[in-house]
Chain A
């Protein structure tokens, strides 16, 4: 399983995917942090460091979720298209181990990507004279990893049994609902009726990914953390991972 995982990761490095993430990270920093007027609404700068840091933190979670989809969507289908799977089957490796290794590689690649963005964020904090935040950013990073891993694992599991187009659409719905959970909750409460019931259903089955991000931010800022959301996040990861046992490829 480790070999499968490391091969999948090496391929990503060969395909320079991680370099692209570094470029995104640097652009994000230049965009947000170079000086106080670099990000603005109608020409006016967004003010305090705390506000800027919060915006960047939300952005990292959103970008992390998008990267999770991009990095995870084609990994398993590509393996089957290139018939790499046959090389694995002849060695008597089970589908669960094979898919598990590839999904773990997806999660790891996503976590590394978010890690790079988090390093950029830490650099921004240090430059702005808030070096004390850096230590707290380690556990906070692990919380954000729960959020993006969920998207990565969800996409990986679905890509075993569904065509990429369908997985992509479901991934957008999953990640979109997750990062806009608070807003949708509010929207649901104002619309009511059938529309409200549909949104309510989505909100019940999809975890609040922005809420997880908020807990990470709260941890850095020394504010109260909702432990329930963290436990539920880990539980959701576990539940999604069951799909690795349930879904099998027929070609095998």
Chain B
């Protein structure tokens, strides 16, 4: 793995890479105070529209805006072709895997993925065993987190198969960039992303449940305004022109789901749910949940309702299962994986655990079931005490941890207090699977705003960038 940091604008040798030349020229001719002004305008825009993101358990501003970096990140057409082919392949394999887990379990029988890793996994939902889902698709909306470490080196860091968020930022960031920098935008031939919501709607209606007659009624199910991604839920419902519902807006009668409207009950066929499995149906999962709907699972199993993403899809984005995705690609598709995984040590395995514990200061150690950058150790950035404390946690429950080398994440020019400087970025493209599988050219670029930081999560102070995929 390359250790030198790859800068997406500068390239390894210091020459400005082709795709960034016009941006570089523009940065040179634009005074810093104009950039400052534009950044302020962007912030005002986000506040006014209310594009906010809550950060749990820290007090302070409950409706924080994610820092938006005004300098776009640019991906060339050829690079994107490679990435998107890889993404489609990977998501096809992930869907095949989930279908298999809740079906015949061939991959377990073949011993490619250890049975215990799946069946004893917290994200495995035995309630889904043998349940047929439309088009055999489980992860309809997937967000695959990728990092780049070299000109041709992309790695998949993490698969998000449950309720990946961030797509509203992909769309709003583009809106604001076009508004702030029309001159720069027009110098490039940028592939549009604004048809994402149409594609999403098409995907959702293509997976109508088997008992649905006519045009399916779609709704977006949100936990409510206190959820960190509430803005996104309302944004997507609005863009698709469907209702944004909360648990109490729905009820189930005779295994059919209805929403309460001003004209009485209306049948719902497809629910794009942004509520976790555990909270979906108090009769099946957590009995104390008030976010879900009693009887939802019965409607689902009876073929009167489809849920996207499917219940139990989380089995495919577990960090321990992640390590087997390249094998899945070969097992289900008979193809060589296009996208690489980051080499990963599974602490549940004895040799790996020993190695990890000895090399904590060099590695990134993650909780298998954690997300959003919580419960994670970045060895090279951690203090001695932090390393010791984390080591003790790993020793206590090794199977809960995986470790990866500290990747030299690529950097992009970013407008920070000191001026324009390189900052580390990752990329989350969104893949839609229904009757067909599609990737909108773009994604969410997250950027670590602090110098040298590798943590891009918005819950940890990361920002976002507009991501430009160029057309040929």
User: A and B: real partners?
Assistant: no
Give B contacts to A, CB under 8 Å. none
Taking beta carbons and an 8 Å cutoff, which residues of A are in contact with B?
Answer: none
